[in-house]
Amino acid sequence: MNEIKHLERIKTFLHELEAGRIQSTGATVVDFAGVLYNVDGSSDDPKRIPDHNGENWKPLLVAFGIDHDCYVTNAVPAPGASHPAGWLGGHMTTNANGQVANGGTCYLMPLCSWHNSTSRNGVAFAHTETRMLELTGYNLGELPVTFALRLPSEMPFAVLFYENDEWKFKNISHNEAIKLKSSVHKLSSIQPVEHYVLIERKWDDRTTYHALASTLPGA
């Protein structure tokens, strides 16, 4: 069987969901002009591939209308580095030590891989572009796909699935959830999906999540 990327992180995410330790999330477009620092501990797999949903945060920024080269205007690298065009999504904080508590608030803005490096942790970044996302309920080390799954939705279910070497999710209705559990789980027209988790959302004073069915190895 081929290796399933980020499988252990997905299992940890599901465990935290069931334990009720993951807060509801939010992603709000804001304008922030102050100095920002890299969040310490937010980086994903260093082999991430730009534009792949399970592996970097750029698609979330683009979905909210933020599509721009790296914002940072100081600490500019020598020619030939990824700055400014080779941008991803960088987690930022106003805390100089880079610390953000799990379930806390941070910012997400266009940042090139050079500035997003841990070697630039603690460096105060100036920027003239101010439009960015304010993330609430963010957890260190979380994959973009599971954060996006936890964004507000009117759909009572979500299915997290592995397809073409990346994790994806889809919000679905009650009827779609019933069909998913009782039929061959084909979530796309490309190929049958072997590994998936069906997650139910419940709303009270906060949103909670419950894994109802799973085909993950070892689950």
CA distance 114 to 97: 19
Per the CB < 8 A criterion, the answer to whether 38 and 92 are in contact is yes
- For 184-187, the CB contacts below 8 A with 24+ separation are 185/161, 185/215, 187/159, 187/161, 187/163
Q: How many CA atoms lie within 13 A of 190 on its CB side?
A: 8
* Structure confidence by residue, pLDDT tens digits, 115-125: 988 889 999 99
* Weakest mean pLDDT among 63-67, 177-181, 199-203, 212-216: 177-181
Predicted confidence (pLDDT) at residue 208 exceeds the cutoff of 50: yes
CA distance 181 to 214: 10
**pLDDT of res. 191:** 55
Average pLDDT over residues 27-41: 93
Q: Select from 28, 49, 13, 1 the least CA-distant residue to 197.
A: 13
Q: Which parts of 32-143 are beta strand (E)?
A: 37-38, 87-93, 104-112, 131-138
Q: Select from 43, 37, 45 the least CA-distant residue to 99.
A: 37
Q: Which of 15-24, 160-169, 173-182, 186-195 has the highest mean pLDDT?
A: 160-169
Which amino acid does the sequence have at 15? H
Q: Select from 29, 122, 41, 35 the least CA-distant residue to 72.
A: 35
Average pLDDT over residues 138-147: 85
| Nearby residues of 72 by Cβ (< 8 Å), 6 or more positions away | 83, 84, 111, 112, 115, 125, 126, 127
What is the reported pTM? 0.78
CA distance 100 to 93: 7
Tokens of 172: 């679905």
- Per the prediction, the chain carries an average pLDDT of 83
CA distance 43 to 141: 6
Per the CB < 8 A criterion, the answer to whether 120 and 38 are in contact is yes
